Amino acid sequence: MIEYINKIKEISERLLKEGIVDIIIGFRKGTMPMMNEPCFAKSPEDIKNLVWDSNCGINLANYLTNYSADRKEKIGIIAKGCDSRNIVNHIIENKIKRDQLFIIGVPCKGMVDRRKIVSIFEREIKEVTEEKNKIIVKSDGFEKILKKAEVLQENCAICIHRNPVVYDELVADLVEEQKDVDRYEDVRRIEAMPVEKKYKLFDDLLSACIRCYACRNACPLCYCPTCFVDESRPQWVGKSINPVDIRTFHFLRAFHCAGRCTDCGACESACPMDIKVRTFTKKLEKDCFELYGWEAGMSLDERPPLDTYKFDYPD
C-alpha cells in the first residue's frame, strides 16, 4: 500500500492548488512504530508529510464530524473501504453534504494489528517497515519478516468491502474483494453458548475496561453532542468502574451503532486495554444482515434499518 502515497500526494496537491478543496484529511508519520497520526494538510508543505501504509487503521470519517460544527470548507478526505462507508453514513444521517467532500478513494489491502505484532516479540520493537506483502520488524540486533496476511487486524482479515463505496478519484485500480469469507464465525460461537456463559465471557472481556471511552471516541458513528453517559437528568449509567456500569456502557454504546457499524475496527484498535469491543457490534451487524439484509454504508439511497420499516415484516 505504500505505493499509493505518491498518487495521494499528487491528487492532494492538485486539489489544493486548483482550489477544489481547502483542506485534506489524511495521515502523517507517527512517532512510534506502527503508528500514524491523523492530520490535515492545507499547504504543499503539509502534503509532503502525508503517508499511507498498513498503519492507517483509524477511521478518518471520524474527523468529518468531530470538528465539523464550524467546518464549512470543502474537504478532501482519504478513504479506504470502511472509511468511505462511514462517509456514506454521515451523508445519509445529514452530518455532512456529499458536495462538500472530495473523496480520494484508496483500495485497501488491510491494516496490520500492531498488538498482534508486539505480542510476537519478547523485546521492544524499534522499527517496522513494509514491502508489498511483508512486514519487516526490527529491534536492536534482530530483524524478522512477517507475512502481512498473518498480522492483519481481525476486521481486515474478514473484510469484504475493501474498495471505497463512494469516491471522486481513486489512487489505484480497485482491488479484488475477498470472497467466501465467513464473517460471523465468532458470533455464532457465542450464540451457541448458554446465557450464563455469555455473561461470563463478557464479564472477563470487560474486566480490564478503564472507561476511557477511546472505543466510543474513535468511532465515526459517535457524534452525539451529549453522549448518554454524560447525561445527568436522568443519569443512565454510573461513573465508576463498577462492572454493571461498564457493562451498561458497552451495551448501549454498541446498540447505538446498530445498523450503522461498518466493522472498521477503529474501536478495537483504539482501546488501550486490548478489549475486543467488536464482539458487541458484530452481533448487531450480523443481525441487521440476517433480519434486514442490511450492510451499513453501502448506498446513499437507502435508509438504515432502524430508520425505516416494512409493513409486512413479521414481528
Partner 1 sequence: MSDWEPKIVTFLCNWCSYGAADLAGISRMQYPPNIRVIRIPCTGRMSPKFILTAFRQGADGVWVSGCHPGDCHYIEGNYYARRKFALFKRFAEHMGIEPDRLHFSWISSAEGTRFAEVANEVVRAVKKTGPASGYLKAA
Partner 2 sequence: MNLGYTMKVVRIDKKNWVGDIENLSRSYRLFGPVKDDNFHRFEELDKDKLPDLDYFNTRLSPKSIVYPQSETMFEYCLDERKKDHHVMKEASKDYSQRAVIGIRPCDAAAFLLVKRNFDTPECKDPYWVKAYEATTFVGLACNNPHSACFCTTAGCGPFHEDGLDILLIDAGNHYFAKIITSKGENLLKAAGWDTKVDAGKEIESMKQNAETGITSFIATNKLKDKITADLFDAPFWEDMAFACINCGTCTYACPTCWCFDIQDEVHGCSGTRMRNWDSCMYPLFTLHGSGYNPRNTGMQRVRQRFMHKLKYYVDKYDNGIQCVGCGRCVSLCPVNIDIRKICNTMNSYEK
Q: Note the residues at the interface with partner 2 (CB under 8 A).
A: 30-32, 35-40, 58, 62-63, 66-67, 115, 118-119, 124, 126, 208, 210-214, 216-218, 230, 238-242, 269-274
Strand, helix or coil for residue 143: strand
Q: Nearest Cα to 168, choosing from 219, 100, 108?
A: 100
In whole angstroms, how close is the CB of 240 to partner 2 at the nearest point?
4
Q: Select the binding partner of residue 206 from partner 1, partner 2, none (C-beta < 5 to 8 A, by kind).
A: none
In whole angstroms, how close is the CB of 136 to partner 1 at the nearest point?
40
Q: Select the binding partner of residue 273 from partner 2, partner 1, none (C-beta < 5 to 8 A, by kind).
A: partner 2
In whole angstroms, how close is the CB of 247 to partner 2 at the nearest point?
15
Classify residue 201 by burial, with Cβ atoms within 10 Å: 0-12, 13-18, 19+. middle
Asked whether the beta carbons of 186 and 155 are under 8 A apart, the reply is no
Q: Any idea which residue has 454521515 for its cell?
A: 90
Residues in contact with 271: Cβ distance below 8 Å, sequence separation at least 6, in sequence order:
214, 215, 277
Strand, helix or coil for residue 227: coil
Contact window for partner 1 (CB under 8 A) among 59-67, 96-104, 162-170, 195-203? 195-203
**Residue 66 found at the interface with partner 1 (CB under 8 A):** no
**Which grid coordinates belong to 48?**
509532503
Q: Select the binding partner of residue 11 from partner 2, partner 1, none (C-beta < 5 to 8 A, by kind).
A: none
- Give the whole-angstrom CA distance, residue 302 versus residue 315: 22
In whole angstroms, how close is the CB of 232 to partner 2 at the nearest point?
9
Q: Select the binding partner of residue 258 from partner 1, partner 2, none (C-beta < 5 to 8 A, by kind).
A: partner 1
